[in-house]
Structure 1
Amino acid sequence: MLVSASPTATTRRERLAASIARRGFARVVDLAREADVSEVTVRTDLAALEADGRIARVHGGAIPRGPVTERELSVERTRTRLARAKEAIAAEAAARVQPGQSVLLDVGSTTLAVAHALVARHDLDDVVVVTNGLAIALALEPALPRLTVVVTGGTLRSLQHSLVNPLATTLLDGVHADLAIIGATGVHAEHGVTNVNLPEAEVKQKMVAAADRVLLVADASKRGVAHLGRVAALDEVDELITDARGGAAASGAFVDDPARASLAALADTGLAITAVPVGAGLG
């Protein structure tokens, strides 16, 4: 016989789901304290929310699911979109890395292209790369031992093959790097750098905080876009490397062209921007 949740339980579960969505990851012990119920009750609520497709239970807590994550595409799908633009951006970003440096490299199709570009830099030696991406770590493997690759650890996500909390940020709290190369699903003149996935946004935040210098790599389709997960304000980013679509626009001009308008709006904020040429027929 099925027993419906009481109104009190229903309200509590809605609040739990909202808290998890807001944080990206929430621990059972914290949720129990906030709701003033036992951890056993919280685990029961999380099981119900997971059955409804609202959250996913992970070790020690839960992460959100639903419309936000459903809009996220796998790295295999996104890497083929605007591939030449991403390769050009990646080559420019990899050129910023110097022998002997430490680099934080997060997940995404453009940062995966950066990993391949770093492998192609045969002049690089004694470089330490810290990443939360399994695909990125494997892409860097051919450059061992010129590069030392450190993987953060954490909970595996399938879409990006990324490692997120719990545990993903533990290592990042204890390191200091020369450079962070960060991807994002949105960079907006008002809303800053954002990401569609909350758990990955949290890891990106930690990388930004742990680096002396932050490079944002994002193709033109990400410009003028804002998503739920905040990564950084624009003044926390030292340079945006993007493709040159819209690069001929003067500030405030060509507002009917989204690529040009978004680039002009970002330039007006004072953000340093390098727009790399890609050529005709971007693919």
Structure 2
Amino acid sequence: MDVRRSEIVSLVKQHGELPVTELSKILGVSEVTVRSDLKVLADAGQVRRTRGSVRLPTDVRRESPLEETRLEHSAAKRRIGRAAAALIRDGETVFIDVGSTTTEVARAVSPTLQGVTVVTNGLNIALELERLPGVRVIVTGGTLRPLQHSLVSPYALDVLRHIHADRLFLGCNGVHAEHGVTNANHEEAEIKRVMVQQSREIVVVADHSKLGKISRALIAPTDRISTLVSDRSGPAPPPELRRAIPELHLV
């Protein structure tokens, strides 16, 4: 069975995307068996299932624009954003990281807050917050990554190292009990690691598709997370992840 699943991954890498019917013919097994294998592989983050076919995960094939990733699990991300933004208190200094879910955090920040400073390396996040009179926005500067509207080294790290935040709202591509919080892009992961170092509390915002997954670059070990805000739309978080994180909010 493991050999067959390895062959499926190899075939998908060769072709980019394959119909289930085609995989069934190539492997000489039923479509039911193929779908069962695909579920296991998708849960492990090795492939991505679509209607009637399978392809490589987005972060393996190419980096998707922020406008595209925002459409994935969009309702769940909005709920997560509202729940996370409610944690911000008057007078706090917070980091808001780049990403589709952290964008929803920025959109949900209360207009009644006063004396809040938000530091971000996301240009779109800064624009979301400029409407709020009680929020001062600091943009890190740095080199622009256009697909994500994010700013990375040089310069961004220098700014972040001079700021101490009460709370960080952290986006990611994977949250795993043993392997920690991970990200697909190494440049952004470097920025995220410094944000973690400079923050008193770490609030990870991640929809259910990220739980139990591992991506390329380590951001922080799981024991550094203060709170995880996720959603109830998918399978329950792995038990070991529940045990590893002090506060878990499912919305």
| 2-structure distance, mates of 1:170, 1:69 | 30
Determine whether 1:198 maps to 2:186.
yes
Distance 1:270 1:180, change over 3 A: closer
- Aligned twin of 2:172: 184
- Deviant stretches of 4+, over 4 Å: 67-70
CA distance, structure 2, for counterparts of residue 151 and residue 158 of structure 1? 15
Relative distance call for 1:185 and 1:68 in structure 2 (3 A) is closer
Paired residues for 1:203-218 under 5 Å? 203-218=191-206
Q: Which runs of 5+ in 2 are unaligned?
A: 1-57
The one-letter code sitting in structure 1 at the alignment partner of 2:228 is L
Query: In structure 2, the residue corresponding to 1:230 is in which secondary structure?
Result: strand
Distance of 2:91 and 2:136 partners within structure 1: 11
Query: Does residue 111 in structure 1 map to residue 86 in structure 2?
Result: no
Letter in 1 for 2:196: V
Partner residue, 2:129: 140
Contact 1:169 / 1:203 at 8 angstroms: preserved in 2? yes
Letter matched to residue 90 of structure 2 = P
SS of corresponding position for 2:148: coil
Give the equivalent residue in structure 2 for 1:250.
Answer: none
- 1:157, 1:164 within 8 Å by CA — same for their partners in 2? yes
Q: TM-score, normalised to structure 1's length? A: 0.66
In the alignment, what sits opposite 1:42? none
1:74 aligns to 2:62 (yes or no): no
Alpha-carbon distance in 2 for matches of 1:269, 1:151: 32
Q: Distance in 2 between matches of 1:220 and 1:69?
A: 19
Which of the pair has more CA radius of gyration?
1
* 1:147-162 → structure 2 map (5 Å cutoff): 147-162=135-150
Q: What is the TM-score when the length of structure 2 is the normalising length?
A: 0.74
Give the deviation of 1:236 after TM superposition: 0.7
> Any conservation in 1 of the 2:226–2:245 contact (CA below 8 Å)?
no
Structure 1 CA distance, aligned partners of 2:196 and 2:184?
Answer: 17
Corresponding position: 1:267 with 2:245? no
Identity %: 45
In structure 1, distance between residues paired with 2:190 and 2:101 = 18
Once the 2 structures are TM-superposed, how far is the Cα of residue 116 of structure 1 from its aligned partner? 0.5
Give the count of matched residue pairs: 194
- Once the two structures are TM-superposed, the CA of residue 272 in structure 1 deviates from its matched residue by 2.1
Partner of 2:238, secondary structure, is helix
